[in-house]
Chain A
C-alpha cells in the first residue's frame, strides 16, 4: 500500500514538472531574463553608434564596464521626474474619466434583465475587437478641422466671440483617445462587481428612508470599490507607458514617458538611458499597484 502511494506521489511530481516545465522555461528565457538584461544594461555605457559600449575594450581610453552614469543623469535634471509626474497625471485623468463614463453603463448592464446582459457586454467588447491603431486613427478623422465636430465646436466658440481652437494634435485629442481606447477595461470589472450586488440591500436601505442619491453613495459605491480598483489598474498602467497616442494625436507638448523611452531606443541610440527610464517606469507601476492594493484593502475593511 505504501509503495503504491509512493508511486502515485512520484507520478504526480513527474506530471507537475511535465506540465509546468515548458511554460516555465519559456517565460524564464523570454520574460525574466530580458528583464534582468535591461537592469544590467542600465548600468552600462552607450555604444558609439548605438547599442551598448563593450564591457571590456582593448583600448583603455574607451568607455567600458559598469557605471551609475545613467542614473546620475536621470536625477541630475528635474525634467525627467517632471515627465514622470506628467505621465502620472495623464494616466490619472484618463482613469477618472473612464470611471465616470463606465460607471453608469456598468450599473445599467448589471441592473438589466439577465437575458440582455450578455448582449450588452458584447456591445462594449466589440469596438475593442478592432485594432488599437484603428481606434486611434478614428479620432484623427473625427477631430480634423474639416470634421463636423470641429466645425460645431468652433462655430459655437465663434458665436461667443472666442477664437477657434484646434482639436487635433492637442492634449485634448490625446486624452479623449486614451479614454476611448481604455474604456472597456473599466466597464468589464465594474460590471462583474456590480452584478454580484444583492438588490435586497438597496431595498433595505430604501425601507430605512434613504433616497436614491444616498443609496448609491452609501451602499452601491462602497460595495463596488474592488471593481473600481481593478478597473483603475487596468486603465492606469497601460496609459502610463503609452507612446503611440501622443505620437499620432499629440501636439507640441505631448510627450510622455513612453515617448521618451521609445526615443532612446529608436532615435537617440542611447540604450542604457532607455533601460534606466524603463526601470523607473517599472518602479512607478509597482508603486501604483502597491498603493491601489493598500487603498483597496483598507477600504474593504472599512466596508
Chain B
C-alpha cells in the first residue's frame, strides 16, 4: 500500500484541489462570457451579441492605448533582455553581489514603491516629462531582474567544463561567449524576453505613477473604465488581452521550462 493511494485522504486532496482550480477559473470564465452580454449596464445576463467587440474595434482611445502598450512592451522588453542577460551572466559567472541585489530588489518590493520613487526622480531630478520614455525606463527597471533570474537558472544548468574546454582551446572571452555560452543560454534569453514583454503589457501599478497624462496604456485604460463606466467593452478587451498573454506565456514556457517554476 503506497502513500499516494491512501483511500479517502486522496479523495479529499482531489476534491479541494478541484475546488481551488474552479476558484481560479470561474471568475475568468465569467469575464469572457459577459463580453458577449447584450446589456450596457452588464449587471445581469440579457442576451448574446458581438456588439462589444465591434465597439472595441472602433474605440480610438482604446486602440491608441493598445498601440502604446505594444510599443512600450516591445522596446522595454528588448532593452531589458539585453541588460538582464548581461546581469544574469554577471551574477552567475562573477557573483557580483551588488548587481544581484539591485536586479532582484525591484522584483521583491511592493510595486508602488518603485512607482513613486521613479515619479519623484523623473519630475524632481531629471525634469523628464512623463510619457512613453518614462514608462519604458520604469518597465526596463523591473524587467531586468526577471530576465536575469531566468538566464542565471539556464547558466546554472550548464556544465562548467565546457567553458574551460573553450578557454583551453584558446578562445577569447568574447569568442567563448559568441560560440559557446550564447547558443546555450539562448532559450533562456528568449523566454526572459517574452516574460519581460508580458510583464510590460500587464503592468498597471508602476505605469500608473510614471505615465503622466498624454500617454495611456491598455491597463490604465481598463482601470479608468472600471472606475468610471463599466460596459462589456471592458470584458471584450480583457478577453482579447487574455488570449495574447496566454500565447506569450505558452511560448515562453516552450523555450524554457524554468518559467514554469515561478520567479526563482
Spell out A's residues near B (CB within 8 Å): 8, 11-12, 14-16, 19-20, 22-24, 26-28, 30-35, 37-38, 41, 51-52, 101-102, 104-105, 107-109, 111, 118, 121-142, 144, 146, 180, 183-185, 188-189, 192, 199, 202-203, 206, 212, 215, 230, 233-234, 237-238, 240-244, 247-248, 258, 261-262, 265-266, 271, 274-275, 278, 281-282, 285, 289
Whether the pair A271, B120 counts as a contact (CB closer than 8 A) is yes
**A26: contacting residue among B83, B113, B201, B226, CB under 8 A:** B83
For A134, give the chain B residue with the smallest CB separation: B238
Chain B interface SS verdict (over half):
helix
B222-246 CB mask vs A (1 if < 8 Å, else 0) is: 1100110010001000100110011
A117 and B105 alpha carbons, distance in the complex (Å): 30
Interface residues of B, count at CB 8 A: 95
Stretch among B27-35, B50-58, B60-68 lining the A interface: B27-35
Q: Which residues from B are CB-within-8-Å of A188?
A: 261-263
**Residue contact B28 to A258, C-beta cutoff 8 Å:** no
Are B110 and A101 in contact, CB atoms less than 8 angstroms apart?
no
Instruction: Determine the distance from Cα of A135 to Cα of B25 in the docked complex, in whole angstroms.
Output: 10
Chain A residues positioned under 8 Å from B93 (CB to CB): 16, 19
Contact partner of B98 (CB less than 8 A), chosen from A15, A24, A104, A261, is: A24
Chain B residues 35-51 with CB under 8 Å of chain A are: 42-44
CA distance A32 to B102 in the complex (A): 7
Interface contacts (Cβ under 8 Å), in number, total: 264
The chain B residue sitting closest to A205, CB to CB, is B3
Chain A residues within 8 Å of B17, by CB: 104-105, 108-109
Among B20, B94, B113, B219, contact of A282 (Cβ-Cβ < 8 Å): B113
A37 & B260 in contact (Cβ 8 Å cutoff): no
Question: Which chain B residues border A199 with CB–CB below 8 Å?
Answer: 2-4
Task: Please give the distance in Å from B78's CB to the nearest CB on chain A.
Answer: 14
Q: Is the CB of A126 within 8 A of B249?
A: yes
Residues of the A chain whose Cβ atoms lie less than 8 Å from the Cβ of B119: 265
A281 → B minimal CB distance (Å):
6
> For the complex, is B190 an interface residue (Cβ under 8 Å from A)?
no
Do B116 and A133 touch (CB < 8 A)? no
| CA distance in complex: A37, B96 (Å) | 24
Query: Do A138 and B31 touch (CB < 8 A)?
Result: yes
Contact status of A248 and B226, CB under 8 A, knowing A30-B141, A34-B117: yes
CB distance from A230 to the nearest CB of B (A): 8
Q: How far is the CB of A146 from chain B (nearest CB, A)?
A: 4
Contact yes or no, B30 A138, CB < 8 A: yes
Given contacts A137-B234, A140-B226, A141-B30, whether A127 and B116 have CB atoms under 8 Å apart is no
Closest to B12 in A: A104
Does the CB pair A37–B124 fall under 8 Å? yes
Which 6 A-B residue pairings sit nearest by Cβ, starting from the closest?
A: A241-B110, A188-B262, A138-B27, A20-B90, A34-B121, A23-B87
Given A31-B114, A275-B120, A278-B116: A244 in contact with B242 (beta carbons within 8 A):
no
Contact A102/B111 with A20-B87, A131-B245, A265-B119 known, Cβ cut-off 8 Å: no
With an 8 A cutoff between CB atoms, is B137 at the interface? yes
Q: Given contacts A16-B94, A118-B257, is CB(A124)–CB(B117) below 8 Å?
A: no
Contacts A33-B125, A127-B28 known; 18 new A-B pairs at CB < 8 A: A19-B93, A19-B94, A24-B90, A27-B144, A35-B117, A38-B116, A101-B16, A104-B17, A104-B20, A132-B204, A137-B226, A142-B30, A199-B2, A238-B110, A243-B112, A265-B209, A271-B124, A275-B116
Instruction: Pick the residue among B20, B84, B140 that contacts A105 (CB under 8 A).
Output: B20
A29 to B186 CA separation, bound complex (whole angstroms): 28
Pick from B16, B42, B205, B264: contact of A104, CB below 8 A.
B16
Contact (Cβ within 8 A) A38 B117: yes
Question: Measured between alpha carbons, how far is A258 from B114 in the docked complex, in Å?
Answer: 12
Question: Which residue on A lies nearest to B222, using beta carbons?
Answer: A133
Taking the closest CB of chain B, its distance from the CB of A225, in whole angstroms, is 17
* Most-contacted residue by chain B among A20, A101, A111, A123 (CB, 10 A): A20
